[in-house]
Every structure is written in C-alpha cells, then in structure tokens.
Structure 1
Amino acid sequence: MPRILAPLLSAATYARWLHLMIGPVFVGVVLMVWPGIEGWSRGELLARAVPVDAALLGLAALVPATRRAEGVQARLLLVPDRERDIAVEPSRSWADRRRTAAWLVGRVLLGGLVGWASVLVPATVVDLVLRPGTAVFGLRADGADGPVRAPLLALVLAPVLLFGLGWLVVWGGRLQLAMAVRLLGPSPAERLAAAELRAERLLERNLLARELHDSIGHALTVTVLQAGAAREGGDPEFAARALEVIEETGRRAMDDLERTLALLRDPADQGVPGVPGRGADGDRDARERPGIDRLPALFETARAAGSPVEARVDVPAGALPGVLSREGYRIVQEGVTNALKYAPGEPISVRVAVRDGSLELCCANALRPPSARSHGGSPRRGGKGLRGIRERAVLLGGEAAAGVESGDWVLTVRVPLRLGG
C-alpha cells in the first residue's frame, strides 16, 4: 500500500504535473489567437490547431537558446535523479534542433492529454456528487438505470476516478522525464566529448600525482637519511653539511610543489600573461621544471646522503625535446630515490645516453646483504614509483624494465627521441 500511495504524495509528481500543464496552456493561447474558440466543434478546433502548434514549435526549435531554456525548465520541474542526463546547452547542430522540435511537440501532446484529463475528471467527480442525474459510464447516479443509489455510486466512483487521475499524472510525468532524457540529453557526440574530457582530466591528475610523488618523495627520502646520519654521526661538521643538504633539498621540493600547484589553478587563468599556466605564457613553467642538465645536482644530493654515485651522462646539448628531458630527469630521480630508500649507502651507477634515435637511461645499485636489510630495505616489487616510471615511459612511446641482475637492482628505460614516431 505505501508503494502505491507514495508516488501520489511525492512533491516531484506535482512539479512534473505543473510541467505537463504548460502544454495545454500553450495550445489554449494559440486557439484563442487563431482560429478562435467560438463556432467550432472540438474536432474542427483540433484539426486547425495541431498544424499551427506544430509549425510554431518547429520555428521555436530553430532558435539555439530554446534548447537551453527547455533543458533548464526540465531540470527544475521534472526533478531528474541525475541532472547530467538533461543538458542545458544551446543547439549546436541541426540534429540538436530536430531533437528539440520533437521534444516540444511531444511535450505539448502529452501535456494536452494529461491536461484534458485533469479538467475532465474533477468536473465529472463534482457532477457525480452534486448532480445525481449525471451519467457516468452509462450509469446514472440517481439509480434510474439500476439499483445503484447516488451515495454509493459517488462513494465508489469518485475515489477511483481521482486515484486514476493521480496515477495518470505520475506516469505522464515519468514519460515526460524519459522523453527529456532522450531528446534533451547529450547527443552521442557530446557524450563522447564529455568522456574524453573526463579522461583528459584524469590523465592530468595522474601526471600531477606522479610529479608530487617523485619530487616530494625524493626530498623526504634525502631528508630522512641526512637527519638520521647527522644524529648518529656526532661530527659537528658533518651535521652542518647534512643540514645544508636538507635545506637545499627542501627548497627544491618547495619549488616543485609550487609548480605543481600552479597547474591546479582555475583553467580560466591558464594563458594569462603573468599567471603560471600552460597557455600563451605557460611554457615558462615547463622550462622551469628540471631537465637532464640538472642531474649533477641530483647526484650531489645522493652523495651527500651517503651513497657513492658513478654517473655518465652522454647527451649532446639540444639533442632532447623539452618534455623528454624533463621526464628523463624524473625517471632518473625516482631511480636514485629508490636506491637511497632501499639500499642506503650502497654505490649507485647511472648511465644516460642517446643511441640509435633513442634516449637510454640505466640506474643500478648493489643490493644490501640480506642480513643488513630492514623491513623497508627489501627488494622493490613494483611500488608506486616503479609504476610511475613505467607509465612515463609508455606515454613517451618507450618501455621500462626493472629487476635483479647479477646481484644488483637495475632499472632500464628506453624511449624514442621522436615522440609519437
């Protein structure tokens, strides 16, 4: 019983009823203008009004703003469960205009049907109760055609008619909502564009997450190692040097964090001169991100953390595209960070070279003996850092591999110099 009565008591039902009644109001206004409501039978009025209404609605659908207005009205009065199902954008194509025209005609026809019933049923109930001689479905309320008496007939038929009208409004509103989702909802092209936009934003978020993981993760690893070494060393000079490294590493991490947060600002600010972004002045931020030329400073930081670094960078000046230089730096940075984290104090070997049209990066470090490994010093098995490296390599059209080789942990990455080629 509650499931039957709940829709009749819902505020959404009466909001949709109001939306449905706009249709017959429009038809009534048109009829009063032309051909008028006097001197015509009901059939003649319909025969003349339908073509005029359809023509007016078709002309209205040609106006791009009509689709937007109908979408806003449908969202407010049809109370959809998911508002995204009904668009509030103006018409951008002839397909949108055709769908808008179909919606306008359909809502007027459906609204006319519900509006006619909304007038007829209450009037019939009033006649049934107050005018005993009224015939309803072949029965007279005064019982002239049978043994049914007026009070009993009114008691039975009046609630049934009102209940039927209520459910006609419920189903009319639901049908109207389904029509709105179908005809005012985003087109397949719009849905595809929206999906592509969501995928692009997700990709951007993943890129930003990798930037934060690599830069801040490296800074925290170096900071923890330096602080621990300074505390246990007992040498004031070494402690002062450790503090210098911590300060410099923290400053670089703050710079990286500021650049990353700049990318999260309102997209409307992108491209405005003087505002960090990726528009007309946006390449400045990209150039400020560290590239291959900043690797010596990275290696010095690792050495200061207590891990000897043997590095060979064989990359001619200007040989790398900017994005490849920046991503190459992040890959090497993550490799060095992993070495510091999982094998602190062990030698690190780094090779960066351009060969056969590709950028090759290799980072290797000796594994700590099993007896010297702590819980955090166990071999890596595909954490977020390695997954981020693989994602960077794939996005650049290359490949990455990591694993144990001859007692060393070896990370190798190879990406083509011609992106997308």
Structure 2
Amino acid sequence: MPRILAPLFDSATYARWLHLVIGLVFVGVVLMVYPGIEGWSRAELLARAVPVDAALLGLAALVPAMRRAEGVQARLLLVPDREQDIAVEPARSWADRRRTAAWLVGRVALGGLVGGASVLVPAAVLDLVARPEHGVFGLRSGGPGWAPLLAPVLLFALGWLVVWAGRLQLAMAVRLLAPSAAERLAAAELRAERLLERNLLARELHDSIGHALTVTVLQAGAAREVGDPAFAAKALEVIEETGRRAMDDLERTLALLRDPGDHGSTGGTGSGADARERPGIDRLPALFETARAAGSPVEALIDTPSGGLPGVLSREGYRIVQEGVTNALKYAPGEPISIRIAVRDGSLELRCANALRPHALRPPGARPHGAPARSGGPPRRGGKGLRGIHERAVLLGGEATAGAESGEWVLAVRIPLRLGG
C-alpha cells in the first residue's frame, strides 16, 4: 500500500503536473485564436487545432534559444535523477532542432491530455457529490446510492495518470533534450581541463611547501646539533626567507583558486609582487643559496638564451629543479648537488645529480646503486614529487628519467622549446 500511495504525495509528482498543465495552456491559447471555441464539436476542434499547433511548435523549435529554455524548465519541473541528462544549451545543429520540435509536439500532446483530465475529473467528482442522481460521463446511476463512492476512485485514477504521465514526460526529455555528442565531448574536455588545473595546483603546493618544510627541518636540526649562536642565527634567517617564499607561493595558489579565470595582477601580499607571478629559472640562484645554507654544496651551470625562455618553460623548469634539489636535501643531506641547465638541439635540458650515501634512504621509486636509470615514466610507487616532474615534462611534450647512475642519483629532463614538439 505505501508503494501505491507514496508517488501520489511526492513533491516531484506535482512539479511534473505543473509542467504538463503548461501544455494545456498552449493548446487553449491556440484554440481561442484559431479556430475559436464556439460552434465546433470536440472532433472538429481537434482536427483544426492539431495541424496549427504542430506548425507553430515546429517554427518555435527553429529558434536556438528554445532548446535552452525547454531544458531549463525540464530540469526545474521534471526533477530528473541527474540534471546533466537534460541539456541547457541552445540548438547548434539541425538535429538539435528536430529533436526540440519532436519534444515540443510530444510535450504539448501529453500535456493537453493530462490537462484536460485534470479539468474534467474534478468537475465530474463535484457532480457525483452534489448531484449523484445525474451520474457521470453519461452513465446514469439511477439513484444517489453508489455514485458518491465513485469519486475517490476517479481522483485516485487521476493521481496515477499524473504520475505515469510525469514519468513519461521525463523519459521524453532525457531522450529528446539530452546533450548531443558534441556537447558531451565539450563537457568531457571541460572536466579534463578542470582536473588538469587541480593537478597543477596540487603540484605547485607539493613542490613549494615540500621544499620549504624540508629546508626548515634541516636548518632547525642543524642549529640544534651545532649549538653555535651565529650558526643558529643564520639558520633562522634561512628559515624566515624560505617561509616567506612559501607564503608567496601559497598566496599565488589561493589567488588562482579564488578567481581561476583572471590571471592579471592582484597586488598580492608578502613581498608585494604580483600574487599570480610564478617563479622562473631566473629565481634559481636564490634556491641554490638556500640549499647551500642547508649544508649541501651546489654547483650550477645555467646556459640559456640571452632573450630568456618561454614563460611556461621557465616556470616549469624552476619547479623541476626545485623538486630535484628538495629530494637531494631530503635523501642525501650534505652531499654536493650538481645542476646543469642548457638549451641544445632545440630542447631545454635539465640535469640534477647528487652523490648517494651508501646507507642513506633512497628517494621513493629509486633503484639500488649501480642499477640503470629508468627510461621515462614515473616511479612505480611512492615518489609524488618524481611523478609530478614526469607529468610536467609530458604535458610539455618532453620526457623525464630518474635513477641511480655510478653512485649518483640523477634526474634528467628534456623539453622541446617548441611545445608539443
């Protein structure tokens, strides 16, 4: 019994009922204009009104915005399980217009049927209660005895007519107003673009904050072990500078999250620079100084064109080198770090190498000493930073390798200057 009565008290049923009744309103307006409602039988009215209704609806479907309007209305009143099953985009092709025309004709026909029943059945129920001896729908009761008992049956039947008509209307909307193949492709591309943006922000935070925390931990530990006030003061200075840069990076990321569509200047906070401006290769000397202050000698050779690199290459190159230096500080603290950045054969080549301690922890995904470096591909497990480097290189049409070579951990990245080449 609850399964039979529950749909009759569902709010979605009445929202769909309203959507259906709108179809009757359209039919009524057309009838009043042509051929008029006086002097015609019901069969004659239908014979004259149906072609006119169909023609008007077909013309309305030619307007691109009609598909959008019908989609928005269907989402609001038909209460679909998934709103994305019904498109809210204007018609862009003749196939869209044909489906919109079929939807309009079907919607008005079904709405006219349910709307007519919604008017006739309540009127018949009132007649049964007020004048039971007259019967209903042409049926004579012969007396007032059984006629009022028919009233709840009629109302129940009307309720379930609305339920089934609403479900049918929803099925029609999902079928005829569904996104086209081009719209589904565009939606998939948008989801992929947003996923890439989220991955970019995740990589930015991992690289920047991870580097800052690594340097902070190393400096604090060294200051505690050495116990020299001058060394401790220098360590605190490095921690302060590293934390300030991390705060700038965090502000840039938060600015993108607040307004991802605007890449202009916001004035920012912290150092006062543009909150959206990401560091490039020209900022690497400061990074190397931080590593040296943490106790790891850095030998760097940067050979790039005098005119500079394309912005995206410079920014991604900085993050790649930053991750390489962070790994060296984390897994081989105090060991020399060798950095080589050069442009050769139309590509930007970056190489970061550091000596491996025999008993030091290897970076996640690293092979034992003497094992060949992996050719392409991120580590099989762990190593989020190395996976991030691989993703950065691949997105720019390049490649990245990382592994142990002759007692050194070597990170090598090659990215074409012509992106995607």
TM over 0.5: yes
- 2:194 is matched with which residue? 201
- 1:308 is matched with which residue? 297
CA displacement at 1:353 relative to structure 2: 2.6
2:74 maps to 1:74:
yes
CA displacement at 1:65 relative to structure 2: 4.1
Deviates more, 1:344-353 or 1:236-245: 344-353
RMSD: 2.8
Match for 1:361 among 350, 372, 376? 350
CA displacement at 1:20 relative to structure 2: 0.8
CA displacement at 1:351 relative to structure 2: 2.3
2:274 maps to 1:263:
no
Unmatched 5+ residue regions in structure 1?
144-149, 278-283
Amino acid at match of 2:222: A
TM-aligned CA distance change 1:275 to 1:77, over 3 Å: same
Mapped partners of 1:215, 1:412: distance in 2:
20
- 1:9 is matched with which residue? 9
Mapped partners of 1:103, 1:182: distance in 2:
9
- 2:282 is matched with which residue? 293
Contact 1:342–1:380 (8 Å) recurs in 2: no
Following superposition of structure 1 onto structure 2, how do residues 104-123 of structure 1 map, counting pairs within 5 Å? 104-123=104-123
Mapped partners of 1:252, 1:270: distance in 2:
20
Contact 1:128–1:141 (8 Å) recurs in 2: no
CA displacement at 1:341 relative to structure 2: 1.0
Deviates more, 1:194-203 or 1:70-79: 70-79
Mapped partners of 1:269, 1:393: distance in 2:
25
TM-score, scaled relative to structure 1: 0.85
Following superposition of structure 1 onto structure 2, how do residues 77-96 of structure 1 map, counting pairs within 5 Å? 77-96=77-96
- 1:212 is matched with which residue? 205
| Per-residue deviation, residues 100-133 of structure 1 (Å, max 9, x unmatched) | 3322221110011112333344455555664346
Following superposition of structure 1 onto structure 2, how do residues 106-145 of structure 1 map, counting pairs within 5 Å? 106-125=106-125, 130-132=131-133, 134=135, 141-142=141-142
CA displacement at 1:134 relative to structure 2: 3.7
- 2:309 is matched with which residue? 320
Unmatched 5+ residue regions in structure 2?
269-273, 366-381
CA displacement at 1:212 relative to structure 2: 1.5
Mapped partners of 2:322, 2:7: distance in 1:
61
| Per-residue deviation, residues 328-361 of structure 1 (Å, max 9, x unmatched) | 1211110110111122122222222333332222
Identical-residue share of aligned pairs (%): 84
SS of residue in 2 equivalent to 1:23? helix
Mapped partners of 1:245, 1:71: distance in 2:
59
Amino acid at match of 1:79: V
Mapped partners of 1:76, 1:361: distance in 2:
55
Mapped partners of 2:82, 2:204: distance in 1:
35
TM-score, scaled relative to structure 2: 0.85
Mapped partners of 1:289, 1:121: distance in 2:
70
Mapped partners of 2:81, 2:263: distance in 1:
34
Mapped partners of 2:260, 2:406: distance in 1:
49
CA displacement at 1:47 relative to structure 2: 0.8
Contact 1:291–1:327 (8 Å) recurs in 2: yes
CA displacement at 1:152 relative to structure 2: 5.2
Match for 1:345 among 308, 312, 334? 334
- 1:380 is matched with which residue? 364
TM-aligned CA distance change 1:298 to 1:266, over 3 Å: closer
Mapped partners of 2:332, 2:261: distance in 1:
45
- 1:184 is matched with which residue? 177
| Per-residue deviation, residues 63-98 of structure 1 (Å, max 9, x unmatched) | 444334333332332222333333444445544443
Query: What number of residue pairs does the alignment pair up?
Result: 399
2:90 maps to 1:99:
no
CA displacement at 1:169 relative to structure 2: 0.8
Mapped partners of 1:358, 1:211: distance in 2:
23
Mapped partners of 2:396, 2:132: distance in 1:
84
Mapped partners of 2:155, 2:245: distance in 1:
74
Contact 1:141–1:154 (8 Å) recurs in 2: no
- 1:170 is matched with which residue? 163
Mapped partners of 1:379, 1:90: distance in 2:
53
